[in-house]
Chains A and B, each alone.
Chain A
Amino acid sequence: MTEIPQLDVRGLDKRFDSDFAVTDVDLRVGVDESVALLGPSGCGKTTILRCIAGVETPDDGEIRIGDDLVEGPGVSKSPENRDVGMVYQNYAIWPHKTVYENVVFPLEHGDHDLQRSEYEARVDSVLEMVEIADLKHSPATDLSGGQQQRTALARSLVHDPPLLLMDEPLSNLDKGLRRNMRYELQRLQHELGFSMLYVTHNQEEAFYLADRVLLLRDGEVVERGSSRELYRRPTTPFTREFVGHRNRFGGVVERSGEGGKVIRTDLGTIPFDNVDYVSDGADSGSVVCFLPPGDISIGQFVSDEADTLQFGGRVVAEGILDQRYEIRIRLSGFETELTIHTTSDHSYDPGDEIRVYAPPGAIQVYGDPEA
Chain B
Amino acid sequence: MSSDTVPRSRIRAAVDALAGLARRALDHPATRGVVLKSLVGAVALLTLVPLLFLLWTSVWTGYPGQFDASFTLGNVVAVYLQGAYDVPRLLAHSLFVAVGMTLVAMSLGLTFAWLFVRTNLPTKGAMELVILSPYAVPGYISAIMYITAYGPENGLVSTFLADTVGVGMPINIYGPVGITLVVGINGVTAFYLFTVPALQNMDPALEEVSRVHGAGVLQTLRSVSFPLILPAILSGALVTVLRGLGEFSVVEILGVREGFEVYATAIWAAVRQQAPPEYGQSAALALSLLLVTGVLMWYYRRLTSRTQDYMTVTGRGYQPKRWDLGKWRWPVAGVLWTVLLVLWIVPLLVMVGVSLHSTWLGQFDPSSLTLAHYAEVVTSQRLQGSFSNSAVVAVSGATLGTVLVVGLAYYTQRTSYRFRAAVEFLSLTPLAIPGIILGTSVLFTVLWVGKLHQLVNFYGTLAVIVVGSVVVFIPFSSRIAIGNIVQIHSDLEESARVFGASWAAQMRDIFLPLFKNTTAIIWFYLLVHVVQLLTIPIMTYTSDTRVIPVDIFDIYYQQANLELVSAVSTIFIGLMLSLLLVFRLFGVTFYDLNSR
Contact = CB atoms under 8 A, between A and B. Distances in A.
A222 B300 CA distance: 56
A93 B313 contact: yes
A95 B309 contact: yes
A78 interface: yes
Nearest to A57: B324
Interface string A81-103: 01111101111111111000000
A105 B210 contact: yes
B515 to A, nearest CB: 30
A106 B216 contact: no
A333 B141 CA distance: 84
B82 interface: no
Contacts of B214: 80, 83, 106, 108-111, 159
Nearest to A93: B313
A90 B205 contact: yes
A365 interface: no
A79 B211 contact: yes
A95 B216 contact: no
Interface in B166-218: 203, 205-206, 208-217
Given A55-B321, A90-B203, A95 B212 contact: no
Nearest to A78: B211
B215 A105 contact: yes
A53 interface: yes
B224 A94 contact: yes
B310 interface: yes
Interface in B284-323: 309-310, 312-316, 318, 321
B228 interface: yes
A148 B313 CA distance: 10
A55 B212 contact: yes
State which size class the interface on B falls in: 20 to 34
B219 interface: yes
B208 A55 contact: yes
Contacts of B227: 94, 96-97
Contacts of A110: 213-215
Nearest to A88: B205
A125 interface: no
Contacts of A79: 208, 211-212
Nearest to B223: A105
B211 A54 contact: yes
A140 B208 contact: no
A95 B211 CA distance: 17
A141 interface: yes
Given A84-B212, A109-B214, A94 B321 contact: no
A106 B210 CA distance: 8
Contacts of B206: 92, 94
Q: Is the interface of B mostly helix, strand, loop or mixed?
A: helix
Interface string A155-192: 11001000001000000000000000000000000000
B208 A53 contact: yes
Contacts of A91: 315
A141 B310 contact: yes
A159 B213 CA distance: 9
Contacts of A155: 209, 213
Contacts of A96: 227-228, 230, 310
Given A94-B228, A141-B312, A78 B203 contact: no
Interface residues of A, number: 35
A279 B565 CA distance: 87
B315 to A, nearest CB: 3
Nearest to B231: A96
A156 B213 CA distance: 7
A92 B315 contact: yes
A123 to B, nearest CB: 13
B521 to A, nearest CB: 29
A163 to B, nearest CB: 11
Given A54-B212, A79-B211, A96-B228, A88 B315 contact: yes
Nearest to B229: A96
Given A95-B228, A96-B227, A140 B313 contact: yes
A160 to B, nearest CB: 12
| Residue among B203, B213, B318, B321 facing the most chain A CB atoms (10 A cut-off) | B213
B211 A80 contact: yes
A113 to B, nearest CB: 14
A79 B323 CA distance: 13
Contact of A141 (B203, B228, B309): B309
A95 B310 contact: yes
Contacts of B210: 94, 105, 109
Given A55-B321, A105-B210, A78 B216 contact: yes
Residue of B211, B215, B230, B315 most packed against chain A (CB within 10 A): B211
Contacts of B219: 109
Given A106-B214, A109-B215, A141-B310, A88 B209 contact: yes
A140 B314 CA distance: 11
Given A53-B208, A159-B213, A90 B228 contact: no
A272 B227 CA distance: 68
A80 B216 contact: yes
Contacts of A92: 203, 205-206, 208-209, 315
Interface in A114-166: 139-141, 148, 155-156, 159, 165
B593 to A, nearest CB: 21
A109 B224 CA distance: 12
B315 A90 contact: yes
A108 B216 CA distance: 12
Given A92-B315, A95-B313, A141-B313, A86 B215 contact: no
Nearest to B315: A90
Nearest to A56: B321
Given A90-B205, A96-B310, A80 B228 contact: no
Contacts of A80: 211-216
A106 B213 contact: yes
Most buried by B among A79, A93, A111, A156: A79
Query: Which of B211, B216, B228, B313 has the most chain A CB atoms inside 10 A of its CB?
Result: B313
A83 B224 CA distance: 19
A121 B126 CA distance: 53
A69 B465 CA distance: 70
Nearest to B230: A96
B251 to A, nearest CB: 37
A291 B507 CA distance: 56
B233 to A, nearest CB: 13
Nearest to B227: A96
A169 B504 CA distance: 47
Contacts of B321: 55
Contacts of B217: 78
B448 to A, nearest CB: 49
A137 to B, nearest CB: 16
Contact of B212 (A53, A89, A94, A108): A53
Contacts of A106: 213-214
Contacts of A97: 227
Contacts of B203: 90, 92
Contacts of A78: 211, 216-217
A321 to B, nearest CB: 29
A319 B6 CA distance: 71
17 contacts: A53-B208, A55-B208, A55-B212, A79-B208, A79-B211, A80-B214, A82-B212, A84-B212, A92-B205, A92-B206, A95-B309, A96-B227, A109-B213, A111-B214, A140-B313, A141-B309, A148-B313
Interface of A: 53-55, 78-80, 82-86, 88-97, 105-106, 108-111, 139-141, 148, 155-156, 159, 165
Given A96-B230, A105-B215, A156-B213, 16 more contacts: A53-B208, A54-B211, A78-B216, A79-B208, A85-B213, A86-B212, A88-B205, A88-B209, A89-B315, A90-B205, A94-B206, A94-B227, A96-B310, A110-B215, A140-B313, A165-B212
Closest 5 CB pairs of A and B: A110-B214, A90-B315, A79-B211, A109-B214, A106-B213
